[in-house]
């Protein structure tokens, strides 16, 4: 199995630096890193170029012009560029546990997608880590919230597998690439913040994919940041609920235009 690590980012190179350092420190590296860049500027490009020479795997920088919050679009473009058969998806504002890729690969199962867990780094700890550029963090670090989500007990990671978590976190998910192709990836009718991951999950479930929950392994630490605008949330919520209740499998405008 070849694991592609898909990282979404937008104009926050300080956070992406910590994220990529945690990728660099993985005990088992991914097959490739594919960065879905929603229109970042030159500092992000330079940072990614630096890590293309540091990471022990190929790095692809998938970029388009900044034209507002178009996460669904850039993720679809990045998925199309992935050459692995299994895609682990994170955001560029998280720090990975050192066994993150190994744990996700061990947990993968045909016919299922995965929702992972996250601990939270509070504002004060985040500011300190961003200044220092040091990604070292653990469940007991002062400033880590929801620290139970950062307990590493891999012997227990199957105990929560079938407990469906409806709080979908796009910052830590994993899919078989073939399943994403089957449902046509992310729905590009959804722009701005809100529910794009839940809508994709609804269609994957309608397609017959099981949802597995990964805890006690394969987790991330999410760096505090201000909330994005919620202006698009009501429209996106309506699209998500229509897909869920209407048993939709494929979205009209999605991944297939880039394949």
What's 169's domain CATH number?
Answer: 3.90.550.10
Euclidean distance between CA atoms 216 and 117, whole angstroms: 8
Q: What would the pLDDT profile of 109-155 be if each residue is shown by its tens digit? A: 999 999 999 999 999 999 999 999 999 999 999 999 999 999 999 99
What is the tally of structural domains in the chain?
1
Q: What would the pLDDT profile of 191-242 be if each residue is shown by its tens digit? A: 988 899 999 999 999 999 999 999 999 999 999 988 777 788 999 999 999 9
Q: Mean of the per-residue pLDDT values for the chain? A: 96
Domain with 85, as residue range(s), is 3-258
Q: Checking phi first, is residue 6 left (phi over 0); if not, alpha (psi -120 to 50) or beta?
A: beta
Q: What would the pLDDT profile of 64-99 be if each residue is shown by its tens digit? A: 999 999 999 999 999 999 999 999 999 999 999 999
Q: What would the pLDDT profile of 151-187 be if each residue is shown by its tens digit? A: 999 999 888 898 877 778 789 999 999 999 999 999 9
Chain position carrying tokens 């979205």: 251
What pTM value is reported for the model?
0.97
Predicted confidence at residue 110, as pLDDT, reads 98
Q: Is 160 in a helix, a strand, or coil?
A: coil
Euclidean distance between CA atoms 44 and 17, whole angstroms: 9
């Amino acid at each position: 199995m070849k694991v592609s690590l898909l990282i979404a980012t937008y104009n926050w190179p300080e956070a992406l630096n910590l994220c990529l350092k945690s990728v660099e420190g993985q005990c088992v590296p991914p097959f490739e890193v594919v960065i879905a860049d929603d229109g970042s500027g030159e500092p992000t490009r330079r940072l990614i170029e630096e890590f293309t020479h540091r990471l022990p795997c190929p790095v692809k920088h998938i970029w388009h012009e900044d034209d507002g919050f178009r996460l669904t679009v850039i993720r679809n473009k990045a998925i199309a560029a992935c050459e692995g058969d299994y895609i682990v998806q994170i955001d560029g504002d998280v720090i990975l546990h050192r066994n993150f890729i190994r744990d996700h690969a061990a947990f993968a199962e045909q016919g299922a997608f995965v929702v992972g867990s996250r601990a939270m780094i509070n504002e004060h700890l985040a500011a300190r880590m961003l200044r220092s550029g040091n990604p070292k963090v653990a469940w007991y670090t002062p400033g880590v919230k929801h620290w139970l989500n950062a307990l590493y007990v891999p012997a227990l990671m199957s105990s929560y597998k079938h407990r469906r978590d409806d709080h979908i976190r796009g910052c830590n998910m994993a899919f078989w690439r073939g399943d994403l192709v089957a449902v046509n990836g992310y729905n590009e009718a959804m722009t701005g913040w809100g529910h794009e991951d839940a809508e994709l999950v609804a269609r994957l479930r309608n397609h017959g994919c099981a949802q597995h929950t990964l805890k006690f392994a394969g987790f991330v630490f999410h760096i505090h940041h201000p909330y994005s605008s919620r202006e698009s949330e009501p429209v996106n919520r309506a699209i998500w609920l229509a897909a869920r209740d209407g048993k939709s499998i494929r979205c009209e405008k999605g991944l297939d235009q880039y394949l």
